[in-house]
Amino acid sequence: MGVKPIPLFMLSAWIKAAAKCGFNVQPLFKEAGIKIDLIRLEDARVSPLQLISLLEQCVAMSPPDKHFPLVLGDTFAFESLPEFETLLTTSPTLREALRVADLARRMVLPWLTLEVKEEGELAKVIVGFD
């Protein structure tokens, strides 16, 4: 049994982030073997290895003053996951939203991990792939 493809539901965010970082991400998709139907963006699927490879290439192509994962986070929109957007905007705190998001993640994105680490006054969300 091979690794199952995962949805590339945040495709529009990748395109916007790459543009903000000054490069075209489409040749990288092609190089990684990711076929994209611009009519059906929600159907895009990639292997976890393709996703990691693509992310590494985007980081390498980004200028020093823009770290691609942070720009990707800034441009991220939940247009394909409106339930998550509603959850985040209606939760009283981000911590509470993350608790519920973790439950939803198990059903929608079981390969993704979310962990909150707190060190003094600093808190961070660590996103990982299983």
What residue spans define the domains of the chain? 1-80, 93-130
Write down the pLDDT at residue 1: 46
- The number of helices, as runs of H, and strands, as runs of E, in the chain is 6, 4
Per-residue pLDDT 10s for the chain (130 aa) are: 456 787 776 778 888 999 999 999 989 988 888 877 767 766 778 888 888 888 899 999 999 999 998 888 887 766 666 777 777 778 888 778 877 777 777 766 777 777 888 889 888 878 776 6
Residues 6+ apart with CB under 8 A from 61: 18, 21, 23, 28, 68
The rounded radius of gyration (Å) of the Cα atoms in the chain is 15
Instruction: Select from 88, 130, 98 the least CA-distant residue to 113.
Output: 130
Write down the pLDDT at residue 77: 67
Q: How far apart are CA 13 and CA 106, in angstroms?
A: 22
pTM: 0.63
